[in-house]
């Protein structure tokens, strides 16, 4: 039986002979020059949920250029979509922006996570210029080898007690709904985005202990497999930490913190905090682009 997720895959994986016209639409001219990076990692976008900060992510993606873009899992939230379909045009525009990057020469590698685990069955295939994989090995320009993995395999709750993960997901969803209402009030008061859920997580002692244990487990895996470092997502906490000779990188998320990792052309990797850089507001040009793409899609382009 075909699902809504299958239909969505069909929409964005047309063969080269049927490339939609919006892929070739020129980007609106903005006042910010695009930043150029060798590599960018983003994860935990959770398209299909109300907590996804799609407008800020589109704003970020249209502000950068890179040779390789890693999507490090939980890009689409299949868990949530199975319970009820939610897919506004802003989420379409995230997909459009990623496909545009692939169409224009960026290598895009999608590491399936636990929330989009349905895509793990398609690992090894390429859809719309996007490579699907279970994990990847990235070599930095200065020769370091990094394991790129979503990270749920190192989460004992997800791995051994999946029913607890779903229970935690329900509680977390309630917190995110509170976060949405909280920020709706802030917008009316002309205040920028601020994540109540991220703040609460940092204040809860058990959550802090969980994050530390998770980071150690991921770093230990990198050591055992002979890597110089590991890049992951999953826990929505952007971080760069050293564990002995191993560097642990987490790219954060686009539900709470709105962060990414970026490698420059000297091999330095840093966290980009898009809320801190933009004040939590997507540019007017981003909203303009999203509107234009929606009109083109509705016109059958």
CA distance 99 to 247: 30
Q: Which residues are CB-contacts of 9 (< 8 A; sequence separation ≥ 6)? A: 127
Rounded to whole angstroms, the Cα distance separating 114 from 76 reads 10
Percent of the chain exceeding pLDDT 70 equals 70
CA dist., res. 138 & res. 154, Å (int): 19
Mean model confidence pLDDT for the chain? 81
Question: Between 182 and 267, whose confidence is greater?
Answer: 267
**C-beta separation of 256 from 46 below 8 A:** no
Q: What pLDDT does residue 180 have? A: 72
Can you tell me the mean pLDDT for 26-31? 64
Distance from CA of residue 141 to its chain's centroid?
Answer: 23
Cα three-residue angle 157-123-72, rounded to 5 degrees = 55
Dihedral sign for Cα atoms in the order 156, 162, 168, 172: positive
Alpha helices in the chain (DSSP H): 4-12, 54-61, 78-83, 89-103, 156-160, 162-188, 196-203, 205-224, 274-278, 284-298
Three-state DSSP at 262 gives strand
Report the alpha-carbon angle 287-13-62, nearest 5. Answer: 25
- CB within 8 A of 218, min separation 6: which ones? 149, 151, 154, 230, 232, 248
C-alpha R_g of the chain: 19
Distance separating the N- and C-terminal Cα atoms of the chain: 28
- Predicted local confidence at residue 216, as pLDDT: 86
pLDDT > 90 in the chain, percent: 54
pLDDT of residue 211: 59
pLDDT digits (tens, 9 = 90+) for 67-117: 999 999 999 999 989 989 999 999 999 999 999 999 999 999 999 999 999
Q: How confident is the model at residue 283 (pLDDT cuts 50, 70, 90)?
A: confident
The DSSP secondary structure of 56-95, one letter per residue, reads HHHHHHTTEEEEEEEE-S-SB-HHHHHH-----HHHHHHH
| Global pTM value | 0.77
- Cβ density class 241-280: b for 16+ within 10 Å, e for less: eebeebbbbbbbbbbbbbbbbbbeeeeebebbebbeebeb
């Amino acid at each position: 039986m075909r699902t809504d997720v299958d239909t969505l895959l069909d929409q964005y994986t047309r063969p080269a002979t049927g490339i939609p016209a919006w892929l070739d639409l020129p980007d609106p001219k903005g006042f910010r020059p695009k930043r150029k990076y060798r590599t960018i990692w983003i994860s935990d976008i959770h398209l299909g949920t109300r907590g996804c900060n799609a407008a800020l992510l589109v704003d970020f993606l249209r502000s950068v250029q890179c040779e390789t873009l890693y999507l490090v899992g939980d890009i689409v939230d299949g868990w949530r979509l199975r319970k009820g379909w939610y897919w506004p045009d802003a989420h379409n525009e995230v997909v459009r922006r990623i496909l545009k990057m692939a169409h224009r020469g960026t290598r895009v590698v999608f590491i399936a996570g636990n929330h989009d685990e349905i895509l793990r069955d398609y690992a090894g295939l390429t859809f719309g210029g996007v490579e699907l994989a279970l994990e990847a090995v990235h070599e930095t320009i200065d020769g370091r080898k990094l394991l790129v993995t979503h990270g749920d395999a190192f989460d004992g709750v997800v791995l051994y007690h999946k029913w607890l993960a779903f229970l935690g997901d329900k509680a977390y969803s309630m917190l995110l709904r509170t976060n949405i209402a909280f920020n709706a009030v802030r917008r009316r008061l002309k205040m920028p985005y601020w994540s109540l859920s991220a703040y609460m997580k940092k204040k809860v002692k058990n959550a802090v202990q969980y994050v530390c244990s998770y980071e150690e487990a991921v770093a230990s895996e990198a050591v055992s497999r002979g890597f110089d470092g590991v890049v992951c997502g999953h826990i929505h906490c952007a971080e760069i930490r050293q564990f002995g000779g191993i560097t642990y990188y987490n790219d954060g998320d686009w539900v709470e913190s709105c962060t990414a990792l970026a490698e420059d052309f000297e091999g330095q990797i840093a966290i980009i905090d898009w809320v801190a850089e933009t004040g939590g507001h997507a540019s007017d040009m981003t909203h303009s682009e999203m509107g234009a793409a929606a009109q083109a899609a509705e016109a059958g382009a």
